[in-house]
Amino acid sequence: MLAVKTLRSNSNIFSRAVRLMGDQFEISIVADNMLWAEEKITNAVNEISRIEKMLSAFGNGSQVNEINRNAGIQPVKVDPELFWLIDRSLKISELTYGAFDITYSSADKSTPINTTQQNLNGINYQQVITDAVAMTVFLQDKNMRIGFAANSKGYAADRAKYILQMQGVSSGVINIGGDLLTWGAQPNHEPWTVGTADPEQQDKPYAHINISNMSIATSANAEKYATINSSRVNPKKGFPVSGTSSVSIISPTAELSDAMANPVMSIGINAGLYLINQLNQIACVIIDDHNRIYTSKGVQAAN
């Protein structure tokens, strides 16, 4: 049973926190009526649950499970929603030269896995074959599997936001363990900033950044890197990386921000800034081991 906090109101902001997809989602909307807000938030929670079930690799009805079971055997026809999520994931893999990758090896139980040995075994996004006409997905290597641990929560947040907007919710925030997705404005008509969308981040050097109608996702170094002889290495490529403490990606969708945070972390400060500066409607804030702040074009952070 989901742990659901009691709905509360605060200056016309109604919020509920639920445990889904292995993380805490807090959905906050600007509204005038508590019962109306509760109904809308419930529908958003149901949508997140639907996405969680859709992207599960378990169960006979799971199309992800069907794709994985037919690895090296035959293409699998899937619903358009799953097909285009996979297609977007592969495009991000191309953009990041494989630093983002939804594939992993069946030899390990974790999802996904990024190691040099698996790359040698041919487990990589380039062996995922899609057919947009037939709506099929085929994993060429029999040991290949796909999983969405790196972007599923962001996609679920985007879908929840869509459901809320279609119900007439003009403003709100979805907080996924500190990653934020916002739309509209605060009750006082001021834009959402990192600090106002999540008061626990008010002391961050980028807490004042305007994120209205945007999302921001953060990857922290301690969570993503192995240590070998006291040196951090990229767990997929195996080469030393710069002393990056955290990377925050700002983009129009939580799916994209979620997917890009780890790759920018893995390629280091200079390469990460170069990559982001080549793209439209996306920005980043990088903090190094000495708490120095680096920003992409169009972002100003407090010193």
Statement: 8-55+152-201 belongs to CATH 3.10.520.10: yes
| pLDDT of 3 over the 70 cut | no
Matching CATH topology for 8-55+152-201 and 63-146? no
The residue ranges of every structural domain in the chain are 8-55+152-201, 63-146, 215-295
Domain 63-146 in this protein, CATH class: mainly alpha
In this structure, how many other beta carbons lie within 10 angstroms of the beta carbon of residue 97? 12
pLDDT of residue 6: 52
| pLDDT of 154 over the 90 cut | yes
| pLDDT of 111 over the 60 cut | no
User: 163-212, pLDDT tens digit by residue?
Assistant: 999 999 999 999 999 999 999 999 999 999 999 999 999 988 889 999 99
User: 225-280, pLDDT tens digit by residue?
Assistant: 444 333 344 444 444 444 889 999 999 999 999 999 999 998 889 999 999 999 99
Q: The pTM is what?
A: 0.85
Nearest to 105 by CA among 240, 262, 236, 239: 236
pLDDT of residue 81: 98
Q: What secondary structure does DSSP assign to 69-105, as a single string?
A: HTTTT--EE--HHHHHHHHHHHHHHHHTTTSS--EEE
pLDDT grade for 108, boundaries at 50, 70 and 90: low
Domain 215-295 in this protein, CATH class: alpha beta
